[in-house]
Amino acid sequence: MRHLMLNKRSHRVFSAGIIPLPSFAISELRSSLLSWYAESGRSLPWREIRDPYAIWVSEIMLQQTQVKTVIPYFDRWMKQFPTIESLANADLQTVLKAWEGLGYYARARNFHRAAQQVLREQQGQFPTDLETVLKLPGIGRTTAGGILSAAFNQPLPILDGNVKRVLARLIALEVPPSRAMSQLWEMSEALIDPENGRDFNQALMDLGATVCTPKNPACLICPWRSRCEAYNRGVQTELPMSETRAPLPHKMIGVAVIWNEQRILIDRRKAEGLLGGLWEFPGGKVEPGETIEQCIKREIQEELSIEIEVGEHLITVDHTYTHFRVTLNVHHCRYVSGEPQPIECEEIRWVTVDQLPEFPFPKANIKIIEALKS
């Protein structure tokens, strides 16, 4: 099956086992990229060090998150958890609070578990072989390659979103990257400089982040322009091809801020699943035919086994996750009767408004806290 063509005249096809670039072209691509990186590479805090733990922190944070967002989190994290041992011995709630606002909280939970595994099995020393690294929770092939190349200069390939885009344009990939992953991995592996895996991978990510951007790529300053098949065909803005996606499902949620005198009831979600281990204001999905008020009253009875009186509207919060979006309809509520039970959650607490910042909350709930404070 044909996946893509190097160019229309030669009809050379890129398929499993065939790299669509001769060795002299690969050598030229390596050299031009490394020269460009020496002059134009970004100065980032984790590039100034060789500590595999610090690089591991940066790689986990950079999954699904932009560099400008990560930098202040990275700096604070390294002050709070300067070693693998300090992270492994920390309470998960403390870890989640430090991660608060970065999103994709499974990363933090897996990172915590992985640090404990390294402390237990490797005496706190980050492993240097790929097979062992890949056994750590939350570490896939790209993250492993990123850590081992940056920390130990190992020539291991990576394939994050930036790299997929660069390679897809370089060879004018005629299918979405998700349908040519084995070929793109093969290409990343063929291109990496065997003597300088560290700088090559960092350069490749920088090229995608600063030059070969999703929209309006800066082709005129790209070191790979002359070899870029998408540029030579004039289709760089059309590639990589994207998958056809269905609209994101939209969930209407009723949320209760339950008051008992001067305290508010919050609950901690179960450890696994979306937002696992975080605290939230209780509530749930609005069923067909229900009003927001009816939903809140029913959900609180089902989840906490208490009676409440639903009061005035506090705030409406819209938030988008990877696979769905939600609208949180938040109401002040008054506790009426019953002993709260953690039926659908890990634990519950009555806290004051001033105590709320002590707990790790999902990003959407932070807006609720801000509304309560104001």
274 lies in the same domain as 211: no
Whether 9 maps to a domain, the answer reads: no
Whether 95 maps to a domain, the answer reads: yes
Structure tokens at 179: 């349908």
368 lies in the same domain as 228: no
Whether 245 maps to a domain, the answer reads: no
Whether 6 maps to a domain, the answer reads: no
Place of tokens 């991978």: 201
265 and 303 Cβ atoms separated by less than 8 Å: no
Place of tokens 């322009």: 225
Q: What does the pLDDT read at residue 11? A: 33
Number of structural domains the chain divides into: 2
Residue 46 sits in which domain range?
23-238
Place of tokens 């696979």: 323
Structure tokens at 347: 């634990």
- The 3-state secondary structure of the chain reads CCCCECCCCCCCECCCCCCCCCHHHHHHHHHHHHHHHHHHCCCCHHHCCCCHHHHHHHHHHHCCCCHHHHHHHHHHHHHHCCCHHHHHCCCHHHHHHHHCCCCCCHHHHHHHHHHHHHHHHCCCCCCCCHHHHCCCCCCCHHHHHHHHHHHHCCCCCCCCHHHHHHHHHHCCCCCCHHHCHHHHHHHHHHHCCCCCHHHHHHHHHHHHHHHCCCCCCCHHHCCCHHHCHHHHHCCHHHCCCCCCCCCCCEEEEEEEEEEECCEEEEEECCCCCCCCCCEECCEEECCCCCCHHHHHHHHHHHHHCCEEEEEEEEEEEEEECCCCEEEEEEEEEEEEECCCCCCCCCEEEEECHHHHHHCCCCHHHHHHHHHHHC
192 and 156 Cβ atoms separated by less than 8 Å: yes
223 lies in the same domain as 309: no
Instruction: Check whether 220 has a pLDDT greater than 80.
Output: yes
pLDDT confidence of 2, banded at 50, 70, 90?
A: very low
* pLDDT 10s digits, 100-136: 999 999 999 999 999 999 999 999 999 999 999 999 9
316 lies in the same domain as 215: no
46 lies in the same domain as 136: yes
204 lies in the same domain as 307: no
* Over residues 207-224, mean pLDDT: 97
161-170 vs 181-191: helix axis angle to the nearest 10? 90
38 lies in the same domain as 157: yes
Whether 244 maps to a domain, the answer reads: no
Of 203, 238, 273, the position where a domain reaches its end is 238
142 CB contacts (<8 Å, ≥6 apart)?
158, 159, 160, 163
272 lies in the same domain as 167: no
Of 200, 218, 238, the position where a domain reaches its end is 238
Whether 10 maps to a domain, the answer reads: no
Of the candidates 178, 191, 229, 183, the residue with the CA atom closest to the CA atom of residue 17 = 183
Q: In the chain, pLDDT over 70 holds for what percent of residues?
A: 95
81 lies in the same domain as 198: yes
Q: In the chain, pLDDT over 90 holds for what percent of residues?
A: 89
Comparing 130-139, 247-256, 272-281, the range with the smallest average pLDDT is 272-281
Catalytic residues: 59
43 lies in the same domain as 185: yes
Q: CB neighbours (10 Å) of residue 273?
A: 10
* pLDDT 10s digits, 305-342: 999 999 999 999 999 988 899 999 999 999 999 999 99
* pLDDT 10s digits, 177-188: 999 999 999 999
Whether 289 maps to a domain, the answer reads: yes
Of 181, 207, 238, the position where a domain reaches its end is 238
249 and 260 Cβ atoms separated by less than 8 Å: no
pLDDT confidence of 243, banded at 50, 70, 90?
A: confident
Instruction: Check whether 19 has a pLDDT greater than 60.
Output: no
171 lies in the same domain as 81: yes
Instruction: Check whether 9 has a pLDDT greater than 60.
Output: no
Q: What does the pLDDT read at residue 370? A: 96
224 lies in the same domain as 262: no
| CATH classification at residue 270 | 3.90.79.10
Whether 168 maps to a domain, the answer reads: yes
